[in-house]
A and B are shown apart, each in its own frame.
Chain A
Amino acid sequence: MFRGWLHALWFRLRSLAKGRRLDRDLDDELKFHMAMHQQKLVEQGMPPEEARYAARRAFGNPTQTKEATRDLWVFPFLETLAQDIRYGLRQLRRNPGFTAVAVLSLALGIGANSTIFSIVDSDLLRPWPVKDPARLAMVTTQRFKESDSLLSSYPDYLDVRQQAGALSGVVAYGNRGAFVSGDGQRLGQEVSVEVVSQNYFAALGVRALRGRTFLPQPEEASAEGHSVMVSYRFWQNYFGGDTSLPGKAIILDDKEFTVIGITPQDFCGLRSVGAPDIWVTKEGWETMVPGESRWDAARDNRWFQVAGYLRPDTQLSEARAQLDGLSKRLALAYPATNQGVGFLVQPASEWAHRGMETGIYLMAMVGLVLLISCANVAILLLAKMERRQREIAMRRALGAARRRLINQFLTEGLLLSVAGGALGVLLAMWLIRLGPTLLPALSDMNLKLDSRVLLFTLAISLFSTLIFGLAPALRAVKGDLTAALKGEIRKRMTVRLPLRSLLVCGEIALAVVLLAGSALLLRSLLYSQAINPGFDWKRNVVMLSVAPPMLYGYDQAHAGVLYRTLAARVDSVPGVVSVSYARRPPLTESEGGETQAVVIPGVQSPPGTDHFNIRYNIIAPKFFATIGGPIEMGRDFNEFDSPSTTPVVIINSAMARRFWPDQNPVGRSIRIGKKRYQVVGVVESGEYLNLHETTQPYLFLPFSQVFSFECMLFVETAGNPRSYLPAILKATAAVDPHLPIVNAVTFSEYMHETLARQRSMAELLAGLSILGMFLAAVGLFATVAYLVSRRTHEIGVRMALGASRNHILRLVLIEGLRLSGVGAVVGLAGALTASRLMSQLIYCVPLTDPLSYAVAIIVAVAVALLACYIPARRAAKVDPMVALRYE
């Protein structure tokens, strides 16, 4: 049966391809038949001419035979389709307004979906471009008690690599920063450096776009200690795509490296955010930062991500069991660092998709926009169907098959969605090109409109046809023929329009969900800006990184003088209010999370250890005055704190509360390492790590007593700090013209950057909800306008009976309000449910924040009323005489 069907299909396809030849063949065949008949008659003694006519006559009607035969060959289906398409196009041409609104609605919905899909796809869905990504597993260190995950130390990585037999090709990588100084003509630049185990590229199967990658053999270690790989983007941006780059030298900090290769364009490391500029081996990094070689021994120096391939015949559970065993052995051997921690193994896809909720949420929201546009088209189609009710009834009465009619309407819908889809793709192309300018967060992503996105667009276009096309089509062919022919259906329609009301309510509901989501995000964003980050971000403060002075010939003593001189020189620049410096900027500790081992006399340390790990910063005097963090008790550091005086420390109020509840901590002493420190001040607690956390104990040490080669200047200016920057840089250049001062960032820029993810999310969602609301308003407008046009007669009667214009206006507005009110209530329930998806994105405001929902409903209802107002005005202007004659 099936084979026969295939056979027929093949023949038909062939006949389609043959086209005219088939006709000619058939013609020949029939002519041959007649010729043979004629020949026979001639042989029987008939004159040739007469025989020809006789043969013709005997044959009957050759044209009919030909047509009957040919019909077998061509697709009846295709023919009908072509007919339907022609019919559909004619219908669409006849109502250009309808067509334009429907196609634009769809184009907006589909275009938004394709754009968001391409973002989510490039951000979240695509596996890393490495060998066999499905078998790649990520190993993270996990603290059991805090149930949070950390990176791993290099010694732990080596143990995993040697002792987890279920994993092969185990690599480690960690992110660091360095300064690139080019050839003296270019400015220095801070770059993101991926410090990797030497087998990194070989194990991941990543080949160099140009040049080569690191040799995996351990005996090459010292040779590869001077090699770096450069990312495609850095190669393009910094070296202008110079094809002769491999083999050339590059200065990282003050060490010379040889560029051995360029990574492929799509390889951005095994990260879910951010892309490294430069890859350097662990040995290479050691030569740059000699002090860091201690990580060979330090198991608490955790900044490596570990990844490895599951061997072909093993399961994840085996690797898990092996790593559990390993972590138990490590805990016994190194209790100080490895107790209470274990390894977590996850498939790479799962690990990389930790931000998936955001993607799912975005897709869901943009899906709502598509539903709104589909509902719009459905509403428009319904209105059109009703106008055509009589025609449809007539066609049915004349014997048109129900299925045939439905097919015809669906074809019309298909045409709409194909046009909408095509326009949507254009829109998406434009948006994607514009994306990075609209949302800076997108510039990191490799957005493109590729076959996956196009396939997705095609799928949603077809899907939307079914959504909006089927209901009106089914409805059109339903119902009482006689009534429809007499034109009675129209009157019944105006009384109750459940389907249309449902659609409009649904649209408003979806718009409310969108609006509530973006209101929540915006509120959360506003709150995030209002919370106390430990500094006053509205101050005119600029932060400047000083390149590590040891790279420029300073020893510790000279560097200390250098910092003080820099601060003093900048302080004398006109317009500078206050200057200080610190080891790190606030809010960035999440990367390193470096702590000091602190012993607090009289307070029991956590079990198994003899100290507390407390995060810290090293600061100069006037730091708090400059950044705007008030000192609650005690004093600031001052010029009298020196190496020879009592070591001092300032703590935050969270630390004070934790260790000395209800007591004055000033004057107490704590032990850090072997030294005793006296607490001299308490400052207000801020969110030092990120804006998400609860306040943590934190301490500050003075630069004059604890030295660091990392230094950042904080300069408060009288006005916009950017305008003082040239003068500030001139002052620093006067101290040392060779020492790079880089990365000037103002507080407000810094805060914006910190909130960038949330902000771009909020902006995207706000854009979507505006789009959704707009589309819903169009739908509502179309509905009310249609209702008004249908009720012109009734309105005329009412006015003739003495209803005032205001009365009519109210009548129509109340109708619209009823629809949108029901929609808003349903939407409220939907928004509350949908908000759960956002829990990762919302800080500071509860997911049930009443104000956000109230705003959403008010906006929705206000827009709805506006959409009803225009048709309502038109209704009120109806001339009763004209209206009564309308029928």
Chain B
Amino acid sequence: MMQEKKERSSDLVQGTLDMLVLRTLARGRAHGYAIAESIHLKSEDVLRVEESALYPALHRLELRGLLASEWGISENNRRAKYYRLTASGRKYLEGESARWNRMTAAIARVMETA
């Protein structure tokens, strides 16, 4: 019960992680480690996703129906859980990206003119 309230206060951070995860999965299915690595690489080593934040986020997104998961065999022949975007996840991602773009543009404008 109390947790929900805390979550809401860190909405921005969490929302950003969700968006990054969804964006990564937009290119195809991947397991948790691959997602973390991908974000790490794409951000040119700036963003490092904490595992303690990544896995709850993945599960939460799955609960909300934005992701679907299945068990498969990884490149090194291990049992791994793969996540992929669902239709509603794709739609959600579009909305979030648009919002993010608007927001960063606005922040950028403020920073430049101020």
A contact set with B: CB distance below 8 Å: 3-4, 7-8, 11-12, 25-26, 28-30, 32-33, 35-37, 39-40, 58-62, 64-65, 68-69, 71-73, 76, 80, 401, 404
| Inter-chain pairs besides A8-B64, A80-B1, 5 sampled, C-beta below 8 Å | A3-B65, A29-B81, A33-B51, A73-B63, A404-B1
**For the complex, what is the distance from the CA of A241 to the CA of B60, rounded to whole Å?**
65
**For the complex, what is the distance from the CA of A33 to the CA of B71, rounded to whole Å?**
14
Q: Check A32–B78 contact: CB distance below 8 A.
A: yes
Residues of chain B within 8 A (CB-CB) of A36 are 33-34, 74, 76
Q: Check A72–B60 contact: CB distance below 8 A.
A: yes
Residues of chain B within 8 A (CB-CB) of A29 are 31-32, 55, 80-81
Instruction: Tell me the minimal C-beta distance from B92 to chain A in angstroms.
Output: 10
Q: What are 23 inter-chain pairs, A to B, with CB distance below 8 A?
A: A3-B65, A7-B64, A8-B63, A11-B63, A28-B79, A29-B31, A29-B81, A30-B55, A32-B81, A33-B31, A33-B32, A33-B33, A36-B33, A36-B74, A37-B33, A39-B76, A40-B37, A60-B50, A62-B51, A65-B51, A73-B63, A76-B1, A404-B1
Residues of chain B within 8 A (CB-CB) of A76 are 1, 3
Q: Check B63–A71 contact: CB distance below 8 A.
A: no
How does the 8 Å CB contact mask read for B35-66 relative to A, with 1 for contact and 0 for none? 01100000000000011100110011011110
Q: How many pairs of residues, A versus B, come closer than 8 Å at their CB atoms?
A: 76
Instruction: Tell me the minimal C-beta distance from B85 to chain A in angstroms.
Output: 15
Residues of chain A within 8 A (CB-CB) of B31 are 29, 32-33
Instruction: Tell me the minimal C-beta distance from A207 to chain B in angstroms.
Output: 52
Given A60-B51, A76-B1, also A68-B81 (CB < 8 A) = no
Instruction: Select B51's contact among A8, A59, A72, beta carbons within 8 Å.
Output: A59
Given A7-B65, A35-B78, also A73-B33 (CB < 8 A) = no
Residues of chain B within 8 A (CB-CB) of A80 are 1
- Total contacting residues, chain B, CB less than 8 A: 26
**For the complex, what is the distance from the CA of A8 to the CA of B65, rounded to whole Å?**
7
Residue of A at shortest CB range from B1? A76
Instruction: Select B56's contact among A8, A12, A68, beta carbons within 8 Å.
Output: A68
How does the 8 Å CB contact mask read for B64-89 relative to A, with 1 for contact and 0 for none? 11000001001010111100000000
Residue of B at shortest CB range from A64? B52
Given A8-B63, A11-B62, A32-B79, also A68-B33 (CB < 8 A) = no
Task: Give the residue among B50, B63, B78 with the most A Cβ atoms within 10 A.
Answer: B63
**Residues of chain B in range 17-36 having any CB-CB distance to chain A below 8 Å:** 31-34, 36
Residues of chain B within 8 A (CB-CB) of A7 are 63-65
Instruction: Select A72's contact among B36, B63, B76, beta carbons within 8 Å.
Output: B63
Question: Which 10 A-B residue pairings sit nearest by Cβ, starting from the closest?
Answer: A36-B33, A7-B65, A65-B52, A68-B56, A33-B33, A29-B81, A69-B56, A69-B59, A8-B63, A69-B55
Instruction: Tell me the minimal C-beta distance from B47 to chain A in angstroms.
Output: 15
Residues of chain B within 8 A (CB-CB) of A33 are 31-33, 36, 51, 55
Q: Check B65–A30 contact: CB distance below 8 A.
A: no
**For the complex, what is the distance from the CA of A32 to the CA of B59, rounded to whole Å?**
16
Residues of chain A within 8 A (CB-CB) of B55 are 26, 29-30, 33, 65, 68-69
Q: Check A68–B80 contact: CB distance below 8 A.
A: no
Residues of chain B within 8 A (CB-CB) of A73 are 59, 63
**For the complex, what is the distance from the CA of A8 to the CA of B61, rounded to whole Å?**
10
**For the complex, what is the distance from the CA of A59 to the CA of B32, rounded to whole Å?**
13
Residues of chain B within 8 A (CB-CB) of A26 are 55
Residues of chain B within 8 A (CB-CB) of A30 are 51, 55
**For the complex, what is the distance from the CA of A789 to the CA of B78, rounded to whole Å?**
71
Residues of chain B within 8 A (CB-CB) of A69 are 55-56, 59
**For the complex, what is the distance from the CA of A39 to the CA of B51, rounded to whole Å?**
17
Instruction: Tell me the minimal C-beta distance from B76 to chain A in angstroms.
Output: 7
Residues of chain A within 8 A (CB-CB) of B81 are 25, 28-29, 32
Residues of chain B within 8 A (CB-CB) of A58 are 51
Given A8-B64, A11-B63, A33-B32, also A72-B56 (CB < 8 A) = yes
Residues of chain B within 8 A (CB-CB) of A32 are 31-33, 74, 78-81
Residue of A at shortest CB range from B51? A59
Residues of chain A within 8 A (CB-CB) of B64 are 4, 7-8
Residues of chain B within 8 A (CB-CB) of A404 are 1
Residues of chain B within 8 A (CB-CB) of A12 are 63
Residue of A at shortest CB range from B65? A7
Residues of chain A within 8 A (CB-CB) of B65 are 3-4, 7-8
**For the complex, what is the distance from the CA of A72 to the CA of B60, rounded to whole Å?**
7
Residues of chain A within 8 A (CB-CB) of B60 are 72
Instruction: Tell me the minimal C-beta distance from A400 to chain B in angstroms.
Output: 11
Q: Check A68–B52 contact: CB distance below 8 A.
A: yes
Residues of chain B within 8 A (CB-CB) of A37 are 33
Q: Check A60–B52 contact: CB distance below 8 A.
A: yes
Task: Give the residue among A7, A29, A401 with the most B Cβ atoms within 10 A.
Answer: A29
Residue of A at shortest CB range from B86? A7
